[in-house]
Amino acid sequence: MRLLRSTDLALRVLMRLAVAGESSPTTRDVAAGMDVPYTHLAKVVAELQHMGLLAARRGRGGGLTLTERGRTASVGAVVRAFEGDGDVVDCEGPTPCPLNSACRLRGALRRAQEAFFASLDPITVADIVAEPTGALLLGISRGPSGSV
């Protein structure tokens, strides 16, 4: 299974904000630090804000901060929210699979997908930034001026 780009960005934004401390980087700062287009990241940030996982303040002194709900969020729940509940394969697409009515693969893939999500459910955002990851994230998220 391969995660959507938006899922990857969402997890990386949450990780970045989890180690930000008192700083509140802007969406542009985070996009530049991740080397991703601002417009893509802005959509992900808007969804994370809608989910209550981060807070965004506009204007001077604004920026992004991780909420307590974001810090304790289940990685599995975040991945589910961004990936959706669709099947791993599209058996009923424009050219439906002729095996659809008697296929066992679809169910096996669904169980594998659920096992994947279930393995991520007990892991929180705080867990994935624990040492040594947190220190490494701080090092790579510093800009040329040394600020986070």
SS3 124: strand
pTM recorded for the entire structure: 0.84
**pLDDT score at 146:** 42
Measured between alpha carbons, how far is residue 92 from residues 16, 28, 82, 99 in Å?
39, 40, 22, 10
Q: Is the CB of residue 85 less than 8 Å from the CB of residue 132?
A: no
Confidence of residue 139 (pLDDT cuts 50, 70, 90): low
* Full set of structural domains in the chain with CATH: 5-141 (1.10.10.10)
Instruction: Reply yes or no on whether the pLDDT at 144 is more than 50.
Output: no
Using the 8-state DSSP alphabet, how is residue 74 labeled?
A: B
